[in-house]
Amino acid sequence: MVITLQKENILIVDDEKTVRRGLNRCLTLRGFSCAEAGSADEAMESLKNKPADLVILDIMMPGTSGSDFLPRLKKSYPDTAVVMATAVVEPDTIVKCMKNGAHDYITKPYDIDELVSNINMALEKRKLELNLRAKSQVLEGKIEEQAKELQKLFIDAVESLVSALEAKDKYTAGHSRRVTKIAMETAIAMGLKGEDLDNLRWAALLHDIGKIGIDPNIQNKPGVLTPEEYDIILTHCVIGPSIVQPLVNDKIIEVIKHHHDSYDGSGLNQKVSGENIPLGARILATADSFDAMTSDRPYRSSMPISAALAEVVRCAGTQFDPAVVKAFLKTPIVNSLKA
Ligand SMILES: [Fe+2]
């Protein structure tokens, strides 16, 4: 059986034909596969046809010098190792070439043993760099996979919490999901994107989660709540954040905390008002109230859509942010309900 060893491809770039030829012969005898180019342009042409593992690049060439050509070469072929060749060692030029990605340099006239040793070292370094890059790509892939798994675990945890809340209170079944839909459409109408939209989605799904900790007799009371009972109900804005704190970021916590705040600051124990209430909480307040008005509750039947919409409009500027109300009225869900 004949074993064919993979030969490394070397491109010799030198304006002196005799130098190129001599070097080509010597390196071919040492087992390398060589190509030649007499200028920067010829080198680019040659690399286009046959990529090289390593380029020996003469610094002093008429037209584009090797040091000027190096950045273009490395930009097009970042994985190709480059050994600079020079008759005169100019430290500044050598430093510049190394900064621009050259692996090594060699002086002319060539000592072939020294050159081959430099070539082997540069090829070895290149191999290590390529291996390292391949490994870090695998690692990045694994990190991405783990992030997706974590995201899935988070979504499952949120779903479980919402289901636990809805199992406890049959009157709010589906409320969190409906509020999420309305809030998202309102946010989109207001131009929210990316992370802000994601944060609002989780806050909306989890906004009432604190009701898990409220006495079910108060929560499901078939009559109007006393002020004391309403105070107790409102503690869900404090209990909720403490439940979901390990799962979500601070922005989501703030939205949950403030979702019962009135825009004009008139809410019970309210510390902020107007634009100081997180925008997500202002959006949630409108979506939450509208869904509550249009759903049956233990103490009353649902309101007609038109009456609920009129109430939202009436409360723009007091309970609700007028800009939010304006966007809410433009949402597809409101338009479909009105139709
Ligand atoms: Fe609430």
pLDDT at 62 over 60: yes
**Alpha-carbon radius of gyration of the chain:** 35
- Per-residue pLDDT band for 65 (boundaries 50, 70, 90) equals very high
| Cα–ligand 1 centroid distance for 234 (angstroms) | 7
* Whole-number pLDDT of residue 220: 81
Please, where are the H alpha helices in 190-234?
194-206, 216-219, 227-234
| Cα–ligand 1 centroid distance for 208 (angstroms) | 5
| Cα–ligand 1 centroid distance for 219 (angstroms) | 11
| Cα–ligand 1 centroid distance for 207 (angstroms) | 6
| Cα–ligand 1 centroid distance for 299 (angstroms) | 17
| Cα–ligand 1 centroid distance for 236 (angstroms) | 7
Mean pLDDT, rounded, for 44-55: 95
| Cα–ligand 1 centroid distance for 152 (angstroms) | 25
pLDDT at 41 over 70: yes
* Whole-number pLDDT of residue 3: 44
| Cα–ligand 1 centroid distance for 271 (angstroms) | 17
| Cα–ligand 1 centroid distance for 339 (angstroms) | 28
| Cα–ligand 1 centroid distance for 259 (angstroms) | 7
| Cα–ligand 1 centroid distance for 216 (angstroms) | 15
* Whole-number pLDDT of residue 171: 67
| DSSP assigned state of 274 | G
| Cα–ligand 1 centroid distance for 243 (angstroms) | 14
Mean pLDDT of the chain: 91
pTM of the shown model: 0.61
| Cα–ligand 1 centroid distance for 27 (angstroms) | 78
Question: What digits encode the pLDDT tens for the residues 278-317?
Answer: 999 999 999 999 999 998 877 778 899 999 999 999 999 9
pLDDT at 6 over 70: no
| Cα–ligand 1 centroid distance for 269 (angstroms) | 15
* Whole-number pLDDT of residue 2: 43
- Per-residue pLDDT band for 99 (boundaries 50, 70, 90) equals very high
DSSP per-residue letters across 97-166: HHHTT--EEEESSP-HHHHHHHHHHHHHHHHHHHHHHHHHHHHHHHHHHHHHHHHHHHHHHHHHHHHHHH
Question: What digits encode the pLDDT tens for the residues 243-285?
Answer: 998 888 999 999 999 999 999 999 888 899 999 999 999 999 9
Mean pLDDT, rounded, for 24-31: 93
Start-end of CATH 3.40.50.2300 domains in the chain: 9-136
Start-end of CATH 1.10.3210.10 domains in the chain: 169-338
| Cα–ligand 1 centroid distance for 62 (angstroms) | 77
pLDDT at 32 over 90: yes
| Cα–ligand 1 centroid distance for 283 (angstroms) | 13
pLDDT at 141 over 50: yes
**What CATH number should be reported for the domain whose range is 9-136?**
3.40.50.2300
| Cα–ligand 1 centroid distance for 206 (angstroms) | 9
| Cα–ligand 1 centroid distance for 240 (angstroms) | 9
Percent residues over pLDDT 70 in the chain: 97
Mean pLDDT, rounded, for 162-183: 85
Percent residues over pLDDT 90 in the chain: 73
Mean pLDDT, rounded, for 17-23: 94
Which tokens go with 115? 């050159």
pLDDT at 1 over 70: no
* Whole-number pLDDT of residue 169: 75
* Superfamily of the domain at 169-338: Hypothetical protein af1432 (1.10.3210.10)
* Whole-number pLDDT of residue 139: 92
| Cα–ligand 1 centroid distance for 257 (angstroms) | 9
Query: Residues 6 or more apart from 136 whose CB is under 8 A from it?
Result: none
324: helix, strand or coil: helix
For the stretch 307-312, contacts whose Cβ atoms lie closer than 8 Å and that sit 24 or more positions apart, written own/partner, are 309/334, 309/338, 312/286
| Cα–ligand 1 centroid distance for 74 (angstroms) | 59
| Cα–ligand 1 centroid distance for 40 (angstroms) | 70
| Cα–ligand 1 centroid distance for 45 (angstroms) | 69
Cα–Cα distance list, 85 to 65, 80, 115, 248 (Å): 11, 16, 10, 58
| Cα–ligand 1 centroid distance for 227 (angstroms) | 16
Cis amide linkage into residue 109, ω under 30° from 0: yes
